[in-house]
Amino acid sequence: MGQESSALRRLIKRLRELRTHMKAGQVDEIARRYLVMNAFDGALAILSVVVSAYFAVGVQDPRFIVAVGLANCLAMGISGFTGTFMTERAERLRRLKELESLLLTDLEDTDLEKASLLASVYVALVDGLAPMVAAAVSLSPLIVAMLLPIDIKNAIYTALAINMATLFALGAFLGRVSKENIALSGLKMVLIGCGTALLCVLLKAI
């Protein structure tokens, strides 16, 4: 029992040390930027899929819209994770090597090196999951319409309402971070979404 308690204390201590290194590397700030950017990308991608499929093409099968939407954001998620991990890993390895040159020591297998790898994985996960979560939330009414006898029109308008609410929430979050007007920041995001939807509808006239 004493050994288990000692091992747990060492683990907690190690995690705190890694967390300290990650905080020094501003990992939370980087992850926050990726979260908003990619959730915004995912929400706009789903908005364009829903509006184009229903209003421009006239698709009435929710399965088609859900399949295209999820495939789109799955690709964004995979691309976001791999691209961000490789980019962040390369940047942090470069900084680690610069630090090694300054300190004239090998930092391999140190807490600093482990924190660098953990930071790259953490940021990449945020980047990859953000558009997928935003997509799933916006598509949820259409997913329900696949399982229950719900009118496609009601599912579409509910999906659009949720999508706009997601955009507003992202904008409000940015407003809070920047200490600007939260409502105005949210409305800016919604206006961008409305402009995107309008452009997608205009595709019908082409």
Q: Nearest 5°: phi and psi at 82?
A: -65, -45
On whether residue 71 sits in a domain, the answer given is: yes
Domain that holds residue 74: 10-167
Provide the pLDDT confidence category of residue 12 given band limits of 50, 70 and 90: low
User: What integer pLDDT is reported at residue 5 of this predicted model?
Assistant: 62
Q: How many domains are there within the chain? A: 1
Q: Which structure tokens are listed for 80?
A: 């976001």
Give the span between the Cα atoms of 51 and 43, in whole angstroms: 12
Q: Kindly report, residue by residue over 68-118, the tens digit of the pLDDT.
A: 998 988 888 898 889 888 888 888 788 778 777 777 677 676 667 777 778
Q: Kindly report, residue by residue over 140-190, the tens digit of the pLDDT.
A: 999 999 999 889 999 999 999 999 999 999 999 888 888 889 999 999 999
On whether residue 101 sits in a domain, the answer given is: yes
pTM of the model: 0.79
Nearest partner of 163 among 65, 63, 39, 16, judged by Cα: 39
On whether residue 48 sits in a domain, the answer given is: yes
Give the span between the Cα atoms of 118 and 112, in whole angstroms: 10
On whether residue 161 sits in a domain, the answer given is: yes
Provide the pLDDT confidence category of residue 47 given band limits of 50, 70 and 90: very high
On whether residue 206 sits in a domain, the answer given is: no
**Mean per-residue pLDDT for 124-147?**
91
On whether the CB atoms of residues 167 and 189 are closer than 8 A, the answer is yes
> Cα dist. 18→33, 66, 146 in Å?
21, 40, 45
Give the span between the Cα atoms of 114 and 22, in whole angstroms: 10
Q: Which structure tokens are listed for 63?
A: 């399965």
On whether residue 75 sits in a domain, the answer given is: yes
On whether residue 62 sits in a domain, the answer given is: yes
On whether residue 189 sits in a domain, the answer given is: no
Following DSSP, what letter does each residue of 91-104 receive, concatenated?
Answer: HHHHHHHHHHHHHT
Q: pLDDT above 90 covers what percent of the chain? A: 32
Give the span between the Cα atoms of 174 and 184, in whole angstroms: 11
Provide the pLDDT confidence category of residue 21 given band limits of 50, 70 and 90: low
**Mean per-residue pLDDT for 10-32?**
63
pLDDT, greater one: 5 or 179:
179
User: What integer pLDDT is reported at residue 114 of this predicted model?
Assistant: 74
User: What integer pLDDT is reported at residue 166 of this predicted model?
Assistant: 94
